Amino acid sequence: MGKLLPLANAEPGGLVGAYSEMYEDNTTDYYIGVITTEDCPADFVKLDIAAQTWAVFEIEGALPTAMSEIWGRIFSEFFPTTDYQHTPSPEIEWYSQGDMSSSTYKSEIWIPIEKK
């Protein structure tokens, strides 16, 4: 974290997690990173994500419970009741700085979407 967090120079600050690709065996690549315009250090991996439309789900509550509940609702409520579909791009989790066990902790899930 000591090398990663200082690279964060774009909004939103804090850490992000990215699920990049789902494989046939139901595994995925998961990246922990920051949003930055800095060059990627040689011992890190850079994940470029194209500009696109996102559905952003704001979360308030202790992790991991609050985030897990929203993940479930995205696929059981949001997609079945809207005119949007998931696009083939990474899903992002944003983590604010603060106490992740607090009932007021803020995080977000960003899902890439397009109209059906």
The pLDDT tens digits for 67-102 are 999 999 999 999 999 999 999 899 999 999 899 999
In a domain, 29, yes or no: no
The pLDDT assigned to 1 comes to: 84
In a domain, 106, yes or no: yes
> Among 93, 78, 95, 89, which residue's Cα sits nearest to residue 112?
89
Helix (H) or strand (E) holding 59: strand 54-60
Per residue in 16-51, pLDDT (tens digit) is: 999 987 788 988 899 999 999 999 999 999 998 889
Are 27 and 53 contacting, i.e. CB atoms less than 8 angstroms apart?
no
CATH of residue 101: 3.20.80.10
The pLDDT assigned to 18 comes to: 95
Could you tell me the pLDDT band of residue 14, with boundaries at 50, 70 and 90? confident
Q: Which two tokens stand for residue 24?
A: 């046939």
Measured between alpha carbons, how far is residue 51 from residues 54, 89, 90 in Å? 9, 10, 11
In a domain, 74, yes or no: yes
Read off the pLDDT of each residue in 1-19 and give the average, rounded to a whole number. Answer: 91
Domain count, the chain: 1
Domain span at residue 64?
48-116
In a domain, 43, yes or no: no
In a domain, 93, yes or no: yes
In a domain, 68, yes or no: yes
